[in-house]
Amino acid sequence: MADEIVRVVVVGAGMAGVQTAVSLRQQGYEGSLVLLGAEPHPPYDRPPLSKDVLLGRAEHSRFEIDFEELGIELALGRRALSLDADARTVKTDGGDLSYDRLVLATGAAPVSLPGQPESAFLLRTQDDALALREALRPGTRVVVVGAGWIGAEAATVARRLGCDVTVVEAASSPLAGALPAELGERTRPWYAQAGAELLTASAVSGIDEHAVRLTNGRELAADAVVVGIGARPDNAWLAGSGIPLDDRGAVAADARLRAGRADVHAVGDCASFPSARYGRRLAVHHWDNAVQGARVVAANVLGGEVVYDPVPYFWSEQFGHMVQVAGVIDASAEQVARGGDAVLWVRGDRLEAVLTVDRPRDLAQGRKLIDSGARVDVAKAADPTVALKAAIA
């Protein structure tokens, strides 16, 4: 696009939006730069919310960035309400904002249970974390709904703070949305060891002020209920804008993270993108995707043609263990155990994904192997006494 870029507006001041704005400056953009964020707080990082912030070890997880110095205009406590893409105007609750380039980075919003009372806690924002922290007193009866990443981390902290914890999961194993059942199953003992009760294959039929009811008739007394059952892209404000959404409501970006138009890009939890590496569209709700994607968006906003096709990565800290995954786990790939604490997914002689528990070196080396597309010797890769990086065929 040849037209001059005088103003870039980034909607969403989470990791993806912040990193996009910072990268734009790092990559030499000198024009006007507005970062719009619905939350009133200075921009902050989310992963610590279910770890150190919830535990009380940190008061906040604010980014240590001098926005003023970088010439990034923060428009906080201000929400984008709709988009007129032809007029290049974002309508917000604080008036209209015009742009030459727009970046969509509105993240995801947590899913609630139908009829969930106000008193139940979600864990997405700083306010959520601080409110929940207040409730996590020794002896408090806490019911966590959902044994996914957030539920497991919340349960970990609640136990550390001396709460009486029950985790309720509708699926038959923990982490069912992310891992094959037999691997999720391996985390089950962690709950018992931490003194938390885990009830799987247990669907919730209702929550009230002091109890969680299950469809099997059981009632769990609860002083605090935490609902961690997933998050959906926060894109309702784009209705009628012509920006393409995929069937899960994510902005359907192209391989350069353009959102259906040359002057609009999308990044982070709110977007999906086609991956040539994995042969399908990916929506990655993890921190690393927000960071890496933002750098690509900044380059492409400034006229670049950078293709975004990462090896997705995330970590979770639960029950004293570091769980890490690089790549995309696909049941059609061959699953290969590498000792007791690492699992590889291999197609032919290429590594597609790696899952590790407390083996960060395996993770880092596996991630590099996936990224490079190197041929691996599967027998060597399966041998935990051989460094994974040495398992090249």
- The yes or no reply on residue 359 touching ligand FAD (CB under 6 A) is no
Shorter beta-carbon distance to ligand FAD: residue 123 or 143: 123
> Judged by CB under 6 A, which stretch of 2-10, 100-108, 132-140, 171-179 contacts ligand FAD?
100-108
Q: What are phi and psi of 256, to 5 degrees?
A: -100, 15
Per-residue binding string, ligand FAD, 291-330, x by CB under 6 A, is -----------------------xxx--------------
Per-residue binding string, ligand FAD, 13-32, x by CB under 6 A, is xxxxx---------------
Shorter beta-carbon distance to ligand FAD: residue 176 or 391: 176
Which 239-278 positions form the footprint of ligand FAD (CB under 6 A)? 268-270
- The yes or no reply on residue 290 touching ligand FAD (CB under 6 A) is yes
- The yes or no reply on residue 11 touching ligand FAD (CB under 6 A) is yes
- The yes or no reply on residue 39 touching ligand FAD (CB under 6 A) is yes
List 8, 35, 105, 329, residue binding ligand FAD (CB under 6 A):
105
> Judged by CB under 6 A, which stretch of 12-20, 166-174, 298-306, 328-336 contacts ligand FAD?
12-20
Q: How far is the CB of 274 from ligand FAD (least distance, A)?
A: 18
Q: How far is the CB of 77 from ligand FAD (least distance, A)?
A: 9
How many angstroms separate the CA atoms of 333 and 346, rounded?
A: 6
Provide the b/e sequence for 313-329 (b: ≥16 CB within 10 Å). Answer: bbbbbbbeeebbbbbbb
Neighbours of 176 (CB within 10 A): 18
Q: How far is the CB of 305 from ligand FAD (least distance, A)?
A: 23
* Angle at which helices 15-26 and 287-301 cross, to 10°: 40
- The yes or no reply on residue 101 touching ligand FAD (CB under 6 A) is no
Helix, strand, coil in percent for the chain, rounding step 5: 25, 30, 45
- The yes or no reply on residue 49 touching ligand FAD (CB under 6 A) is yes
Q: How many residues bind ligand FAD (CB under 6 A)?
A: 37
How many angstroms separate the CA atoms of 138 and 36, rounded?
A: 39
Which 165-224 positions form the footprint of ligand FAD (CB under 6 A)? none
What is the residue-wise DSSP string for 295-359?
HHHHHHHTT---------EEEEEETTEEEEEEE---TTSEEEEETTTEEEEEETTEEEEEEEES-
Q: How far is the CB of 205 from ligand FAD (least distance, A)?
A: 26
> Judged by CB under 6 A, which stretch of 43-51, 175-183, 241-249, 353-361 contacts ligand FAD?
43-51
Neighbours of 122 (CB within 10 A): 21
- The yes or no reply on residue 123 touching ligand FAD (CB under 6 A) is yes
Q: How far is the CB of 328 from ligand FAD (least distance, A)?
A: 14
**How far is it between the farthest Cα atoms of the chain?**
64
Q: Is 104 exposed, middle or buried (0-12, 13-18, 19+ CB in 10 A)?
A: buried
CB distance 309 to 277 below 8 Å: yes
How many angstroms separate the CA atoms of 103 and 384, rounded?
A: 44
Shorter beta-carbon distance to ligand FAD: residue 278 or 314: 314
Q: Give 245's strand partners.
A: 251
CB distance 230 to 148 below 8 Å: yes
Q: Which residues bind ligand FAD (CB under 6 A)?
A: 11-17, 36-39, 46-47, 49-50, 79-80, 105-108, 123-124, 150, 234, 237, 268-270, 285-288, 290, 314-316
